[in-house]
Amino acid sequence: MKRIVYILSVALMLAGCAAKPHSERVDGMTSPDGKLQMEVLLTSDGTPQYSLKREDTDIILPSSLGFEMRGVLKSTDVDFARDGKAHKIDTKPVRSMHDGFVVVSTEHSSFDETWEPVWGEESSIRNHYNELLLVMEQPGKNTKMNVRFRLFDEGLALRYEFPDGQEDGYMVIKDELTTFNMADDCFAWWIVADYDSQEYEYTGSYLSEIPQLLPDAIRDNSSRTYIDNSSVQTSLQMKMRNGLYVNIHEAALVDYPCMHLNVDAKNHSLKSALTPGADGWKGQIQTPCHTPWRTVQVAETAAAQLANRMTLNLNDPCALEDVSWIHPTKYMGVWWEMIAGAGSWDYTRDFQTVKLGETDYAHATPHGRHSANNENVRKYIDFAAENGFDQLLIEGWNIGWEDWANCNKDYVFDFVTPYPDFDIAALNDYAHKKGIKLMMHHETSSSPRNYERHMEQAYTLMNKYGYDAVKSGYVGNILPEGQYHYSQWMVNHYLYAVKEAAKHHIMVNGHEAVRPTGLCRTYPNLVGNESAMGTEYQAFGGIKPGHTAILPFTRLNGGPMDYTPGIFHMNLKEWCGNDSHVNSTICGQLGLYLTMYSPLQMAADTPEHYAEHMDAFQFIKDVPCDWSESRYIDAEPMDYIIVARKGKKDGKWYMGGVTDEIAREFDIPLDFLGEGTHTAVIYADAPSADCYTNEQAYEITTKTVTSGDTLHVRMACGGGFAVEFK
């Protein structure tokens, strides 16, 4: 380990104040493969900076790091001060932790291990990086801040570390000032920064164009309350003019506010914009501690970017001793019929408002549209069991849905009381006898205190009836008001729910929760999140076909998404009068089971709709959702993705692809196949297929192939394909 001590004199710093500060190199390192180079710099006014190159091509120009902080009172300051005067925290001045630093030392190390995820896109993952720890302090101020850099072959990660034994053990973050000065005006695929929703369609534009395009990219939805309209969300996928793919995200977001990226369009510079709490301050920290990782992933090809595992690698190893109860799950759900409008979550129109414990559901008049009724659920159980599914999700099973959303209602659900027409004991029993489990649903209506108050009884009920997975939801404005979905306070809540669930051996799939940052490595019972615009929006106005060709670059960078694919009946008007249209083809839907990796995969459509296309449905029945190997064959963000994967259990290869509105053809070398001959069952869009006009046209063909062959595939406008190799 190299140890260098730099002490810059205060005089030198002061001398540099008048002119624009210039930077001097402090230290640097290269990635294990030698291709990436990063440098640590310090400006003449003591601001730490970093830069990143790949084979001498600039990616990140020197970019500043640091914070504006405020101390909080220590207990001794307020512990019944003898004069009856306690100083107030708002009298503490804001303090720069972005300049005035001197470098105490830099420390180098390296790391190389291979670990096995409980579930994933591959059975083992290599975690290989060089590390540089920059140790700094502000002379005479007793403030210390370190920056830990990790340089992988796939990109750079950095995080701040605040050691113990400095001026303030507790600090309040006014702003994190991490900047990413992009070396050119990258093309970016972005969604607007919103403190309460990630459910947007992407816009592709140069960084310099974002300010003018941003207003049109804002779309209302049921959760939004506050938009930061000069920023965008992470993960932000970019492509440099030289063709390099660069992605900025964060990893291991624990007890810290979620980061957005403020866009300086003129200088194509991005800066951390943390989600605030009610008072506008961004977060609370306690030393010793560190921030989440800020990542700059770099890839020569889009396909290589999709295989980047930095986010998982930057998270802590599995924290659960026993993971035997965690399993990949393929499921159906009593869900899409409500989303589309053919049924409803609620049970009655008798009540203007519901008071749990007082409202008498037993004598209420059912309105007849309640989907989670015994008969309907049994029908789904029969179909799901017959077709080899693991679980069946049922939403709207518990009382309270008559007035659940956006009423600022604290006690909105109790998570344990079924509607009169949902026999929880009998239905679980019926399902278990048929070899499947029911999947629980906990909509919190963004009343997290109420959820936490009922969490123990909710999880206990699940254990009692044999549920081992829950889909949770956070629709609406967070209670209490002033907190946002991505504030530190809520970030803390989501992980609390996952940890408490683990104690009960329950897997969690959190919808509307903060976008994932690889925490599923540490808590593999976090088997999924929504945290982006999912299939439901096909029933709320439709989604542009390119959406699923960008999500794997962005949303999936942090962990799997419960995208709920598998819609076979696209014309909703003809089914249930919904004017929205599912902009996809049947083979486009099949392709998603490969391109949208998740250990939790839904077949979202209804038994009736699948019954009309049982030959195509066969692929959904066959396709695994846990893999020993994945090969991204070709991709371009928001255009198309093609991937082949090998089932962890069955050892067979599968391949799938999706495209945007442009029909595309590919000749795919099958070199990933093992020796011998294989029978490829190919699910392809028919020549006439089109995601707007002819969605259900597909052809299933069989071909004998070897690893030396090339397979020709064609995807229709908004379509896709899927192949099973037997």
How far apart, in whole angstroms, are the C-alpha atoms of residue 155 and residue 171?
30
Using CB under 8 A as the criterion, what x/- string covers residues 321-340 for binding a second copy?
------------------x-
Q: Is 536 in the site for a second copy (CB under 8 A)?
A: yes
Give me 407's structure tokens: 């009423």
Using CB under 8 A as the criterion, what x/- string covers residues 572-601 for binding a second copy?
------xxx---------------------
Name the segment binding a second copy (CB under 8 A); options: 8-16, 352-360, 378-386, 683-691: 352-360
Q: Are 48 and 27 in contact (CB under 8 A)?
A: no
Among 8, 32, 73, 618, binds a second copy (CB under 8 A): 73
Catalytic, 636? Answer no
- In the sheet that 48-54 helps form, which strands lie side by side, from edge to edge? 23-30, 36-43, 48-54, 57-64, 179-182, 269-274, 259-264, 227-233, 192-194
Q: Is 537 in the site for a second copy (CB under 8 A)?
A: yes
Binding positions for a second copy, 490-509, rule CB under 8 A? 492, 496
When the beta carbons of 80 and 365 are compared against a second copy, the nearer one is: 80
Q: Return the bridge partners of 264, or none.
A: 269
How far apart, in whole angstroms, are the C-alpha atoms of residue 651 and residue 654?
10
Binding positions for a second copy, 287-306, rule CB under 8 A? 287-288
Query: Exposed, middle or buried: residue 702 (CB in 10 Å: 0-12, 13-18, 19+)?
Result: exposed
Q: To the nearest whole angstrom, how small is the minimum distance from the Cβ of residue 687 to a second copy?
A: 32
Binding positions for a second copy, 616-645, rule CB under 8 A? none
When the beta carbons of 78 and 323 are compared against a second copy, the nearer one is: 78
Name the segment binding a second copy (CB under 8 A); options: 118-126, 131-139, 283-291, 695-703: 283-291
Q: Are 259 and 282 in contact (CB under 8 A)?
A: no
- Give the number of other Cβ atoms within 10 Å of residue 533's Cβ: 24
Binding positions for a second copy, 208-247, rule CB under 8 A? 219-222, 224-225
Tell me the site size for a second copy, rule CB under 8 A.
78
Q: What is the dihedral of CA 667, 670, 671, 677, to 10 degrees?
A: -140
Among 57, 109, 230, 284, binds a second copy (CB under 8 A): 284
Name the segment binding a second copy (CB under 8 A); options: 107-115, 132-140, 158-166, 715-723: 158-166
Q: To the nearest whole angstrom, how small is the minimum distance from the Cβ of residue 49 to a second copy?
A: 29
When the beta carbons of 200 and 619 are compared against a second copy, the nearer one is: 200
Among 215, 368, 435, 482, binds a second copy (CB under 8 A): 482
How far apart, in whole angstroms, are the C-alpha atoms of residue 39 and residue 29?
7
Q: Is 281 in the site for a second copy (CB under 8 A)?
A: yes
How far apart, in whole angstroms, are the C-alpha atoms of residue 355 and residue 653?
53
Q: Active-site residue among 39, 512, 536, 724?
A: 536
> What is the phi/psi pair of residue 106, to 5°?
-125, 145
Q: To the nearest whole angstrom, how small is the minimum distance from the Cβ of residue 497 to a second copy?
A: 11
3-state secondary structure string across 480-504 = CCCCCCCCHHHHHHHHHHHHHHHHC
Q: To the nearest whole angstrom, how small is the minimum distance from the Cβ of residue 172 to a second copy?
A: 7
Q: To the nearest whole angstrom, how small is the minimum distance from the Cβ of residue 456 to a second copy?
A: 7
Among 35, 108, 432, 453, binds a second copy (CB under 8 A): 453
Cα Dmax for the chain: 89
CA-based nearest residue to 493, from 476, 507, 472: 472
What positions carry a catalytic annotation?
536
